[in-house]
Amino acid sequence: MLPFQVNDAIQLKLIKPQDRDELYSLFDLNRVFLREWLLWVDKRQSPDDLDAVIEVWTRNYEENNGFDAGVWFNQELVGMIGLHYIDWRNKATSIGYFLSESSQGRGIVTTAIEKLITYLFNDLKLNRVIIQCAENNIRSRAIPEKLGFVNEGTSRQAQWLYDHYENIVTYSLLSSEWQECVSK
């Protein structure tokens, strides 16, 4: 599936060892911005910290168990989209994402996820996709809301984020809902 050409400007590509330094630079340049919502930011203190994680991402992809892909916009790495563990028995998965601060507001992630959802439902024949966002992360929540995901509810204090708990909102979209939305 990867690389996945979203449109002329956006491409999703599997993160490979040769992307390590570029990915680390993206993390480092956006560290303060990303740290507001993402727990793993402090664990990435040098490019070497990415070696083991890139191996896991590669293995997951090879085992048909999701992926962690870089989001390239006009051939610049600007973020990532992760298709987490695929529950093949229940035909379900979840999506996570982040985008650099300077790339916000251009519809990059929304466009990429919209195309990805079509692939997940039409090609992989999945039935359910979940996106979870911190309750106060309005920009992140706007993506599933714009794409027609259903707000299933809020898990109170579900994630410890450095020095406080965050409420987590769970959104889901079913294949039948997506097909209905696309046909309109």
Q: Is 152 helix (H, G, I), strand (E, B) or coil?
A: strand
Euclidean distance between CA atoms 165 and 87, whole angstroms: 28
Residue 71 confidence (pLDDT): 98
Separation between Cα atoms, residue 150 and residue 147, nearest integer Å? 9
Give CA 35 to chain center in angstroms: 16
Mean pLDDT estimate for the chain: 94
Q: Where are the domains of the chain?
A: 4-183
| pLDDT over 90 at 14, yes or no | yes
Tokens of residue 36, six digits: 């507001």
For residues 31-38, give the mean pLDDT: 91
Flag whether pLDDT at 40 surpasses 90.
no
- 93-118, pLDDT tens digit by residue? 999 999 999 999 999 999 999 999 99
Mean pLDDT of 55-61: 94
Helix (H) / strand (E) containing 142: helix 138-146
**Which CATH number does the domain 4-183 belong to among 1.10.1240.10, 2.40.50.140, 3.40.630.30, 3.90.600.10?**
3.40.630.30
Q: Whole-angstrom Cα distance, residue 136 to residue 97? A: 16
